[in-house]
């Protein structure tokens, strides 16, 4: 790990066992927290989670060991992850609410990964991810409703439209920075949301209704999914679709992180002037970060629109952008795994806090502030870049 020969590289067998067991435990925990609905059980599980992070904090070798074992048997780890993701709906069964939560969490994971390119890798604030998400949703929904374009064709079109928007927001980013840039992105977000709210062809505050369900090879996504005689509710279609999108986002993030682009973004984060002196085209990479963010966010927006089949400007407010930012910060900036955990946690937590009925937003705010104060570097802080040789 990290260039030094660590004495505790796990053996193949130990690594395999660890990689499989840890993922199953993680999945079981997710399953439990989705299943329980009593207020105190949620509190208990959260306390358990807190204990886990406390242990991670106290005993950093656990994280090192985990990373080392995953790196030792990457194939096993990936296959386990794939099996868990594929099998999860079978355990959930006919509980559509849990599937719904999972889909929303997956879409937010994509959004958080999208924002992570900017906020995490390059440390550029962007409060307009919600707007890109909305543009993706509206463009694809309008195409499908007015022109009967199929879902699979609206995906790239929506992504292109949002990318264009990303470039437009990116332009002021060449000149402004920090707080001023944050305000520019807030302003873009508010303008988009207000326009969606006021134009008549976007349905105004009522939004768009009746977005047709997509279909693939003759199978409509509105129908239940039947696999080997198992009948899964129709939400399972979207669950797998969003899971595929998460995989695409992870691969994109991973490849970009390893490429010169990711390196350039990290250089921007570390020191803009030094980056410029190294010959990095600062303006271009900043704008590129905005464009990539908008591109991925539009994918999530499209799936969201077709999944709920009803969108309104209220789904894409400033607070949505703030939530996405919080996911990245709470999860851990520039850490792909952390960002996904952050997205899942912050999607599921408010839902579970419904047990506290009216007080859940209050709770949510307090939890976020607490997180930022106690663990400002996020749940999973970013790791040092590894240059060169594998361990």
Partner 1 sequence: MAELLVQQLVNWITLGCIYALLAIGFSLIFGVLNVIHFSHGDVAMTAPFITLALAQALATALGASGPAWLVLAVPVAVLAVGLIGVLLDKVVIRRFRDAPAMMALVATVALGIVIRELIRHLYPQGSNPHAFPRLVSGMAFEISGVAISWFALLVVVLTVALVAMLFVFLRMTPLGLRIRAASEDRVVARMMGIRDARVFRATFFIASAIGAIAGLLFASYAGVTRFDFGVMAGLLGFSAAVIGGLGSMPGAILGGLIIAGIEVLAQTFVPDGASYRLVFVFLLVIAVLIFRPAGLLGRTVMEKV
Contact set for partner 1, span 121-140 (CB under 8 A): 123, 125
Kindly state whether residue 255 participates in binding partner 1, applying the rule CB under 8 A: no
Cα(378)–Cα(345) distance, integer angstroms? 13
- Provide, rounded to whole angstroms, the least separation between the CB of residue 296 and partner 1: 20
Between 47 and 319, CB nearer to partner 1: 319
Output the smallest distance, CB 370 to partner 1, in A. 9
383 binds partner 1 (CB under 8 A): no
Minimum CB–partner distance for residue 203 and partner 1 (Å): 14
Taking CB under 8 A as the binding criterion, the range among 51-59, 62-70, 346-354, 365-373 that sits at the site for partner 1 is 365-373
Query: Which stretch in 68-76, 119-127, 210-218, 283-291 sits in contact with partner 1 by CB under 8 A?
Result: 119-127
3 state SS for the chain: CCCCCCCCCCCHHHHHHHHHHHHHHHHHHHHHHHHCCCHHHHHHHHHHHHHHHHHHHHCCHHHHHHHHHHHHCHHHHHHHHHHHHHHHHHHHCCCHHHHHHHHHHHHHHHHHHHHHHHHHHHCCCCCCHHHHHHHHHHHHHHHHHHHCCCHHHHHHHHHHHHHHHHHHHHHHHCCCCHHHHHHHHHHHHHHHHHHHHHCCCCCHHHCEECCCCCEECCEECCCCEEECCEEECCHHHHHHHHHHHHHHHHHHHHHHHHCHHHHHHHHHHHCHHHHHHCCCCHHHHHHHHHHHHHHHHHHHHHHHHHHHCEECHHHHCHHHHHHHHHHHHHHCCCCHHHHHHHHHHHHHHHHHHHHHHHHHHHHHHHHHHHHHHHCCCCCCCCCCCCCCCCC
Residues in 157-196 at the binding interface with partner 1, rule: CB under 8 A: 171-172, 175-180, 182-184, 186-188, 190-191, 194-195
Residue 330 Cβ, how far from partner 1 at the closest point, in Å? 9
Binding residue for partner 1, selected from 329, 343, 345, 346, defined by CB under 8 A: 329
- Total residues interacting with partner 1, rule: CB under 8 A: 43
User: What is the Cα–Cα distance from 328 to 316, expressed in whole angstroms?
Assistant: 18
- Pick from 27, 33, 77, 119 the residue near partner 1 by CB under 8 A: 119
Q: Binding mask 265-294 vs partner 1 (x if CB under 8 A, - otherwise)?
A: -------xxx--------------------
Determine the Cα angle at 23 with ends 17 and 27, to 5°: 145
Query: Is residue 47 close enough to count as binding partner 1 by CB under 8 A?
Result: no
347 is a site residue for partner 1 (CB under 8 A): no
CB of 195 to partner 1, least distance (A): 6
Q: Is 376 in the site for partner 1 (CB under 8 A)?
A: yes
**Would you say 226 or 372 has its CB closer to partner 1?**
372
Does 366 bind partner 1 (CB under 8 A)? Our answer is yes
| Candidate segments 35-43, 62-70, 233-241, 319-327, binder of partner 1 by CB under 8 A | 319-327
Tokens 């505790």, located at residue: 8
Among the residue ranges 27-35, 76-84, 140-148, 325-333, the one whose residues contact partner 1 (CB under 8 A): 325-333
Interacting stretch for partner 1, rule CB under 8 A, among 26-34, 135-143, 296-304, 353-361? Answer: 353-361
Considering beta carbons, is residue 103 or 111 the nearer one to partner 1? 111
Question: By CB neighbour count within 10 A (0-12 exposed, 13-18 middle, 19+ buried), where does 339 fall?
Answer: buried
> What CA–CA distance (Å, rounded) separates 285 from 287?
5
- The residue ranges that bind partner 1 (CB under 8 A) are 119, 123, 125, 171-172, 175-180, 182-184, 186-188, 190-191, 194-195, 197-198, 272-274, 318, 322, 325-326, 329, 358-359, 361-362, 364-366, 368-369, 372-373, 376
């Amino acid at each position: 790990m990290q260039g030094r020969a660590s004495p505790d590289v796990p053996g193949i067998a130990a690594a395999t066992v660890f990689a499989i067991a840890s993922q199953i435990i993680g999945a079981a925990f997710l399953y439990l927290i989705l299943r329980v609905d009593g207020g105190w059980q949620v509190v208990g599980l959260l306390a358990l989670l807190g204990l886990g992070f406390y242990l991670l904090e106290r005993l950093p070798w656990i994280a090192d060991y985990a990373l080392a074992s995953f790196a030792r048997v990457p194939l096993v780890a990936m296959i386990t992850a794939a099996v868990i993701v594929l099998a999860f709906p079978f355990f959930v069964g006919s509980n559509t609410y849990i599937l719904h939560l999972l889909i929303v969490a997956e879409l937010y994971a994509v959004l958080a990964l999208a924002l992570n390119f900017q906020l995490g890798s390059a440390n550029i604030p962007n409060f307009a991810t919600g707007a890109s998400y909305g543009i993706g949703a509206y463009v694809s929904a309008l195409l499908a409703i007015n022109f009967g374009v199929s879902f699979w064709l609206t995906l790239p079109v929506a992504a292109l439209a949002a990318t264009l928007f990303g470039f437009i927001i990116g332009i002021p980013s060449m000149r402004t920075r920090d707080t001023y840039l944050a305000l520019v992105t807030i302003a873009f977000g508010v303008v988009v949301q207000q326009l969606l709210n006021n134009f008549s062809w976007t349905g105004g505050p009522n939004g768009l209704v009746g977005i047709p369900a997509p279909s693939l090879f003759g199978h409509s996504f509105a129908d239940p999914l039947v696999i080997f005689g198992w009948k899964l509710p129709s939400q399972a279609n979207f669950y797998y679709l969003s899971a595929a999108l998460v995989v695409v986002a992870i691969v994109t993030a991973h490849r970009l992180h390893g490429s010169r682009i990711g390196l350039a973004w990290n250089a921007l984060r570390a020191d803009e002037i030094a980056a410029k002196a190294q010959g990095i085209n600062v303006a271009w990479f900043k704008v590129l970060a905005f464009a990539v963010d908008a591109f991925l966010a539009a994918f999530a927006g499209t799936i969201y629109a077709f999944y709920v089949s009803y969108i309104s400007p209220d789904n894409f407010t400033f607070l949505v952008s703030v939530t996405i930012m919080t996911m990245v910060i709470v999860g851990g900036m520039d850490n792909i795994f952390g960002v996904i955990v952050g997205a899942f946690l912050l999607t599921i937590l408010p839902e579970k806090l419904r047990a506290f009925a009216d007080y859940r937003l209050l709770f949510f705010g307090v939890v976020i502030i607490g997180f930022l104060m106690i663990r400002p570097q996020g749940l999973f802080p970013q790791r040092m870049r590894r240059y060169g040789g594998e361990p």
